[in-house]
Amino acid sequence: MTGRAARLAAASTAAGLLAAGVLLRVVNASSWPPGPWLDEAFALRAARSLPASAPLVGSVPLLPPEAGFVNFWVTTPWLRLVAAVDSVAGGGIASTRAVSVGSSVLLLLFSGLLAREATRPSWAGFLGALSLLSTSAWLLATGRWGWIAVATTALLVASAWAALVAARRGSAGFAAAAGALLGLSQYGYPSAWLLFPVPALVAGWSALGKRREEVRLALVALAAALALAAPLGLHYLGHPDRLLARPREISPLKEGAGAALGALARSAEAHVVRFLLRGDGNLRHGDPSRPVLPPAAAGLALLGAAGVLARPGRERLVLLAAVLLLAGGLLAVESPGANSFRISPAAPFLLVLAGLGLGALLGALPGRLVRPAGALVAVTLLVTALLEARAFLRWASSPELRGAFGGPERELADALAASLAGGGGADVLLDPARACRSAFVVEALLGPPGPRPRPSISLASLGPEGIDWRFLPGRDVLYAGADDAHLGTVAARLGGGRVATGVELPGWGRWAVYRIPAPSARSAAERTLSAFPRLPAGAGGELWAEAEGLYTFQAREGLRATLDGIPILGPGGPEGRSSAVALLAKGRHRLEVEPASASARLLLVPPDGFAVRHGEPETR
């Protein structure tokens, strides 16, 4: 075969591998997995509720106020991107999949570019890396739901590719692009922080070796990274608690310095297990029975790392990125062990190292052995690719994913949407404790895309006497709760009819949806609300009641609160009470809060049942 024919064959093979990789990432995208991950729903909620007045660079707590703590702050630039994708995708499961699966496809394409650049001039090394990248069950599984982590990894890989091109060409333009991509990645998943020092490290070791051109390019990249990341850095300087929220949660020092060494040893052991024996027990992260890398890929990656160390060149950047990302995972102490998802940003770099190892292996063999060895390696990689693809397809189609992800919640949202479309408009109410495991998932899937200050559904518990109404419905009510005799009796008493029933989730149960006619729903709500004295709106006051209904005030730690001059919490109010309920007319009300400590907070639950942090802007 001539050189031109060989290159054409290699290019055709690469195109086929990329096509296979894209196909595996998009096949059955709407149903694999059967529902969204909870954090994907939280991200849509945060993006849709982000006010237009939010700062260009700020941060928002991912978890809702009900959680009582914040372990991750999402940056406003990222949320604006999510909102844009949500608007184009049209909402529902399409929006969550567009963010995650779209990022996964981009990651594959950038990983292919990095693999080609790193393995030059070895076509065998490139094709080997590309086959592993295209079919890695680890990347394929996280690519279905990993949203911000997958998108951030794509930026990191693109940055590494631009840096290698800059080193090969001596291009300041590509160096600046590498730095800019690295700077942008800092706005995403916190693992990107681990690679931010890379330009400075490269400049340092290049200066020691008196390689002036490398120093120049590294400084260009560093300047670009600093320029892009500086606004975020200034934001975190003003809010260091947000910067440290996630590191504190997983730090080996969280249980004291004395326990740190033991925690790190357990983390190291767990990481060895992840790569050699099996994955972690979280089904979302992939097949728990399989290691995160197939044996062939792990072996070739080790060989590639050894080759880079023995003959350092620009490829050392790939090894440095992999080492730093794995080190970050090692320092993340979690129970019951190493988190495969947390170290997933290292996966593309490890698989590119495997391609480097393959190229080094074939390059070190005598000429007469290259062809048979190449054939053996090709067969091994083909079998590996088929086994990895098979493992992913088996995982993606597993019935167990219905519970691991929001399968029942998606089914409930689809049933509610169908009832609204077929039976006419209605107010949607969910029993927050028994209709589903998370009302936020249902709301994210059912709500339309675009900015909106409040959720599109409401929450109302089912008590012993009936529905705990919080407002007066103006039309029919679609009420979702547990499929049991009590809900059926309450709905029948109100003239309601069952419109949909869910499939049972082992250990949880199943949901049912009833349509309650508007007159009986309103009459029942009036009886509930009549038990509360109505506070009329005034001419002033900082609390704006958007709709008439019940408002719940919940104190987190000690505070004093008065509402329209009436003590409701703390001294002067009901002794020992940490919450209060009031029926407010639409309009302004005077709410005065005196916290007893800096950590005291007041949660306000409007008639729709979704809490907000009173007096504490979520976006700053």
The Cα 330–Cα 325 span in angstroms is 9
* pLDDT at residue 1, as a whole number: 55
* pLDDT at residue 618, as a whole number: 47
* pLDDT at residue 105, as a whole number: 98
Q: How confident is the model at residue 183 (pLDDT cuts 50, 70, 90)?
A: very high
Strand ordering across the sheet containing 477-482: 458-459, 427-430, 477-482, 511-516, 497-501
Span 50-77, average pLDDT: 88
* pLDDT at residue 528, as a whole number: 95
| β-bridge mates for residue 480, sequence order | 430, 513
Kindly list the distances between the CA atom of residue 163 and the CA atoms of 61, 114, 221, 565, in Å, as whole numbers in the listed order: 33, 10, 8, 64
* pLDDT at residue 414, as a whole number: 96
Span 357-371, average pLDDT: 83
* pLDDT at residue 336, as a whole number: 66
pLDDT at 269 over 90: no
Domain-wise residue ranges, the chain: 3-402, 407-529, 533-605
| β-bridge mates for residue 556, sequence order | 601
The Cα 161–Cα 167 span in angstroms is 10
Cβ atoms within 10 Å of 345's Cβ, excluding its own: 32
Kindly list the distances between the CA atom of residue 25 and the CA atoms of 2, 106, 110, 116, 360, in Å, as whole numbers in the listed order: 35, 10, 15, 21, 30
Q: What is the mean pLDDT of the chain?
A: 91
Span 460-479, average pLDDT: 94
The Cα 103–Cα 143 span in angstroms is 7
Strand segments (E) across 360-508: 427-430, 458-459, 462-463, 466-467, 477-482, 497-501
pLDDT at 613 over 60: yes
pLDDT at 362 over 90: no
Reported as a single tens digit per residue, the pLDDT across 35-49 is: 999 999 999 999 999
Span 535-552, average pLDDT: 91
Cis peptide before 121 (omega within 30 of 0): yes
Kindly list the distances between the CA atom of residue 604 and the CA atoms of 25, 166, 550, 616, in Å, as whole numbers in the listed order: 42, 53, 11, 11
pLDDT at 233 over 50: yes
Q: Among the ranges 52-56, 522-526, 597-601, which has the highest mean pLDDT value? A: 522-526
Block residue for tokens 């995650």: 100
* pLDDT at residue 620, as a whole number: 47
- Half-sphere exposure (Cβ direction) of 19: Cα atoms closer than 13 Å: 6
Q: How confident is the model at residue 244 (pLDDT cuts 50, 70, 90)?
A: confident
The Cα 449–Cα 334 span in angstroms is 35
* pLDDT at residue 556, as a whole number: 78
* pLDDT at residue 452, as a whole number: 81
Spatial CA neighbour of 297 closest among 362, 354, 361: 354
The Cα 181–Cα 152 span in angstroms is 10
Which secondary-structure segment (H or E) carries 612?
strand 612-613
* pTM for the full predicted model: 0.93
Please tell me what DSSP assigns to residue 433. T
Q: What percent of the chain has pLDDT over 70?
A: 97
Block residue for tokens 């940055």: 159
* pLDDT at residue 281, as a whole number: 83
Block residue for tokens 């994913």: 401
Span 372-393, average pLDDT: 92
* pLDDT at residue 75, as a whole number: 96
437-442-447 Cα angle (round to 5) = 160
163 is written with which tokens? 């840096």
Question: Is the distance from CB of 438 to CB of 41 less than 8 angstroms?
Answer: yes
pLDDT at 175 over 90: yes
- DSSP string covering 125-160, please? HHHHHHHHHHH-HHHHHHTTT-HHHHHHHHHHHHHH
Which option is the CATH number for 533-605: 2.130.10.10, 3.40.630.10, 3.40.50.10310, 2.60.120.380?
2.60.120.380
Which secondary-structure segment (H or E) carries 161?
helix 147-169
Of 234-238, 264-268, 322-326, minimum mean pLDDT range:
264-268
The Cα 398–Cα 393 span in angstroms is 8
54-58-60 Cα angle (round to 5) = 85
* pLDDT at residue 179, as a whole number: 98
Question: Is the distance from CB of 432 to CB of 467 less than 8 angstroms?
Answer: no
194-43-350 Cα angle (round to 5) = 35
* pLDDT at residue 454, as a whole number: 83
Q: How confident is the model at residue 619 (pLDDT cuts 50, 70, 90)?
A: very low
Reported as a single tens digit per residue, the pLDDT across 404-439 is: 999 999 999 999 999 999 988 999 999 999 999 999
Helices and strands in the chain, H and E counts = 21, 19
4 is written with which tokens? 């031109």
Spatial CA neighbour of 345 closest among 357, 327, 333: 327
| β-bridge mates for residue 559, sequence order | 595
Q: Return the exposure string of 543-582: e unless at least 16 CB atoms fall within 10 Å of the residue's CB, then b.
A: bebeebbbbbbbbeeebbbbbbeeebbbeebeeeeeebeb
Q: What is the dihedral of CA 610, 616, 619, 620, to 10 degrees?
A: -170
Spatial CA neighbour of 144 closest among 25, 34, 43: 25
Span 523-540, average pLDDT: 93
Span 8-16, average pLDDT: 89
Phi first, then psi: what are they for 478, rounded to 5°?
A: -95, 110
Block residue for tokens 């329209």: 564
